[in-house]
Structure 1
């Protein structure tokens, strides 16, 4: 992290010194000033290309607001017609891969019509300054192919890690057609919940690593070092089949009986998918493990089950002989 930080500072210092030494800033039709520091051979960036780049965002007084170098990640964007002076879409087509540039965007243009949003470090007449470096240029198809290959690799790795978790813990789960795996750890003979019933569930959710990301049980929260005295620790209410929980829960709870306990192993496609959840606590494409118990089922009114077609229901009539016997 220190090397990344010092590299970013060195780059910013070099570009700032260069900008001060050269006064040949050019201006776009929308009013942004720019200076290209390096001009590499190669095809210029085109509309619909996908670019990967680093950038530093700062004030006129060199106060850094954001640095992708310090954040440790590059940024991607697809090139489209410019909608505002601050989107830099008039600048990118002037560059090619490995080019670097400085762009000064007038804050008067950014905050025009909503001055109340202007922060004190951007007074009138000031600029929002970008220092950018293009690291990769791809066609839209190339970027999509790369993304799909990366997703396929992550999904494959997810399956490998889930299988290892099951093997390491000597589990023998039942696997449904959707890919949900579950083990009933405490069976009961009480009724199963039906769609529309309210199910009260105690649970502890973990990553395959064993890290607890959420629980309704105070003792589990304390053991995991995540106890929050401001939240209630009690069973949560789930209306079965209403889609208010992840698909793995809606499917899995319908397989259990009131009072039973189980472990769900939920693949990401039945969980939080490529987005993940919890501000990074659940990474994208994470298989999740839930130890849970159905504490109570509150039935709703269900329509009577219709008779199957072709099946006749007859009422046995009393014969005269049977009447005499009575």
Structure 2
């Protein structure tokens, strides 16, 4: 928007990206457990994966890293284009990966204008095989009814202008709380983010996931930064059918699949209530940063990650971008620490 022996924890990745604190050393060896027998894995990339403009070695991503597909950020809002989109989409396809493009939605701006712009980027760029994706993670003030209408306008316009039925990328908290868990979009494929070891259940009336984003902090040979890692809900043949336009292809793989346990991901599967309480207390002045750090360490984060979480929360609070209302809702809902970190990541993107 993969997993490895030395997987960089999601908290550290979120905080580092949001605050721009450091760069990441190049990968020099394959990440562990990138692929499992019968499991089709892939990455999604944006400009963050091109620090200083350094190119991604897509051939290595496929042959050594074991990745089968890639989604590349194409656009955002009404007129912003990822300057590396054309290069990465072509190079990934030339390396034998199935490629798709995604658009980061800005619902405060016009849906049809964004859809037309996204379609123009796709149509003018390299050929893609996977459906165009609406990355829907922020509401920017729209209520569930308005946001559903916005979403339908965008999806319909993209399909009309590209000839391809789009896919929706989202995460649990957003769909439950900002889309009112609507089942109005089940005719479109679902790509769901959930940072945990076991595949998540679908939301919004979908009967299955098409893709699962399992982590945003994987390491893959050929990409010099942490990267989002995903699993397709099917085998390689079904991915080929999906890419050819059969968007019902796949199913049944994630439903019986359990990834090898990762200590970092196990931390993220915990209930988030105690950590949310500490974040809200820090924001209100009731607790200091050290208390939040202590709460994060008690949850199982190492000292560096705990410091990064506290730093991210302080930065968002100082900018007036901490999503306090969402945090209060999340505190009483059935959500995990992984859901909390996705929420904070999205707040940082808007800051």
Which category describes the TM-score, using the shorter chain as reference length?
A: under 0.3
Higher strand share: 1
Higher share in helix:
2
Name the structure, 1 or 2, with higher relative contact order (CA <8 Å, separation 6+).
2
Give the structure-1-normalised TM-score.
Answer: 0.22
Q: What TM-score results when the alignment is normalised by the length of structure 2?
A: 0.21
Q: Which has the larger radius of gyration?
A: 1
